[in-house]
Structure 1
């Protein structure tokens, strides 16, 4: 049997802890997340959670970053510009229909961030980065002549983020109310028509 390196063991433990934290968030929100409960749920002690993350805030911050990473597959393979934005819009909503507990936890925490002094700054930063990526795509699209010159990139970016997150939350609350893949295709067509 092949022995795992210390780094591989650390990554496995962190994944288990983040998954346990995500499950707790999805079940009952942030209030249920304690270092002790995360450790118990993952099959470890509270001490291992403290060792890996140090605090609840650091754990939640790591959970948010981990849940957002790789949510929309293949977007990074498309060059910046209008097509990349359209791929993002369509695949984001397509991914919503297949999300696991990490991504569900992200959306639950995002909704909770409205009234949370712990989460508010973290999600303002994440949303700012998300909007900045969209602005960069719009500016690249304008430079290439694919996006109309009268488009206001920051305004469009804010609307796109609101649409994507809002539709994702709607799906989580009432899965029968929306088919994410169909919504993704419709939103892609909408933005192509509006921006071109």
Structure 2
């Protein structure tokens, strides 16, 4: 008689490492979003994630290493949200508006995105070396938006006379400003701002 019980798959050391790193980074993001960067000590992160302080040191080496890994995780998280929206299947105008919509829809309810902008604010205020990975990430987003605008112009759905690079920078600045404002006023209702932003930008960009 064949047993119907399934033998659990054994996880590899790589699987366990990836899981522990993800849980430590999630704990760090939660602490930063709730209490600020200073609260994300190795001891607090280990306690929140259910691991030892020593494992945090082993995985990331230093506070700088931890924060760089966290920035990379949060950037990947945002990229995944955009990919799920399948922006490349939309025309240029709708892809720009979809980018904005996805970003603002998730901004107020995603604690890890909040942690990203807390880190950004601290890096800028402290003239930190961490400004470089933020600048690189934001340049990537600007280039992605510029490509959408250029595609929309080629398709005839975005005004041809617009400077695509300037339009992309304007959209990025809008999202950065709203993200910073939400840090200052966590109770701000983003929904009417999201709707108004989409309406105004559609009017401004559309051919």
Instruction: Report if TM-score (shorter chain) is over 0.5.
Output: yes
Deviation of 1:52 after TM superposition, in Å, equals 2.0
> What secondary structure sits across from 1:131 in the alignment?
helix
Q: What is the RMSD computed on CA atoms of the aligned residues?
A: 2.1
- The aligned residue for residue 156 of structure 1 is 167
Deviation of 1:77 after TM superposition, in Å, equals 4.5
**Residue 200 of structure 2, aligned match among 177, 190, 196:** 190
Structure 1 residue 12 and structure 2 residue 24: aligned?
no
> What secondary structure sits across from 1:8 in the alignment?
helix
Structure 1 Cα separation of the partners of residues 123 and 165 of structure 2: 22
Structure 1 residue 82 and structure 2 residue 105: aligned?
no
- Say if 1:57 and 1:176 are closer, same or farther in 2 by CA, change over 3 A: closer
- Equivalent pair of 1:21/1:38 in contact (CA under 8 Å): yes
Q: Which runs of 4+ in 1 moved over 4 A?
A: none
- Equivalent pair of 2:87/2:99 in contact (CA under 8 Å): no
Structure 1 Cα separation of the partners of residues 103 and 177 of structure 2: 12
- Say if 1:27 and 1:95 are closer, same or farther in 2 by CA, change over 3 A: closer
In the alignment of these two chains, the number of paired residues is 194
Q: What is the 5 A alignment of 1:137-156?
A: 137-156=148-167
Structure 1 residue 58 and structure 2 residue 65: aligned?
yes
TM-score by structure 2 length?
0.82
- The aligned residue for residue 97 of structure 1 is 108
- Equivalent pair of 1:84/1:137 in contact (CA under 8 Å): yes
Task: Indicate the structure whose relative CO is greater, using CA pairs within 8 Å and at least 6 residues apart.
Answer: 1
Structure 1 residue 69 and structure 2 residue 80: aligned?
no
User: What 5-or-longer segments of structure 2 have no aligned partner?
Assistant: 1-6
TM-score by structure 1 length?
0.86
- The aligned residue for residue 33 of structure 1 is 40
- The aligned residue for residue 114 of structure 1 is 124
